[in-house]
């Protein structure tokens, strides 16, 4: 078992993917939630990442999502999270990605 000093010397990188998405045709917050929740659940299951809506919760047709992952290899994190946007565009045609940005924190 590691003592507290050793735990902090073995820090792992964390990567965060920020996604600005557009949900055309949403006419209420209830409809927005009903379209986003299955997407967030599926992303978690497909990529083993944490996913949350972090901004624009009160806007019907826009959402700011964050996806986060931890791994010992920063290159693997970058590669894995870069696949998320492509997967959404391929499998979720009713969601448009307006902007995406990956940050790796060491």
Mean pLDDT by 10 residues, the chain (106 residues): 60 94 95 96 97 94 97 93 96 95 93
User: How far is Cα 68 from Cα 104, in angstroms, rounded to an integer?
Assistant: 10
Which among 22, 20, 71 is positioned nearest to 47, based on CA atoms?
Answer: 71
pLDDT number for residue 106: 84
pLDDT number for residue 2: 58
For residue 13, being part of any structural domain is answered with no
pLDDT number for residue 12: 87
Give per-residue burial for 71-99: e unless 16+ CB within 10 Å, then b.
Answer: eeeeeebbebbeebbeebeeebeebebee
pTM, to two decimals:
0.86
Handedness of CA 66, 67, 70, 75 (dihedral sign): negative
For residue 79, being part of any structural domain is answered with yes
pLDDT number for residue 16: 97
Find the CATH number of the domain harbouring 75. 3.30.70.1120
For residue 8, being part of any structural domain is answered with no
Q: Which domain holds residue 56?
A: 18-105
For residue 56, being part of any structural domain is answered with yes
For residue 40, being part of any structural domain is answered with yes
For residue 84, being part of any structural domain is answered with yes
For residue 9, being part of any structural domain is answered with no
For residue 39, being part of any structural domain is answered with yes
Domains contained in the chain, number: 1
10 Å Cβ neighbour count for 17?
25
Tokens of 96: 């448009």
């Amino acid at each position: 078992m590691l003592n507290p000093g050793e735990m902090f010397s073995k820090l792992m990188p964390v990567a965060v993917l920020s996604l600005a998405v557009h949900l055309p045709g949403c006419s209420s917050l209830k409809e927005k939630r009903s379209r986003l929740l299955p997407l967030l659940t599926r992303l978690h299951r497909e990529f083993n990442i944490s996913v949350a809506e972090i901004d624009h919760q009160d806007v019907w047709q826009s959402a700011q999502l964050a996806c986060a992952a931890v791994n010992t290899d920063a290159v693997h994190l970058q590669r894995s999270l870069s696949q998320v946007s492509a997967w959404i565009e391929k499998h979720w045609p009713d969601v448009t990605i307006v902007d995406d940005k990956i940050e790796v924190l060491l």
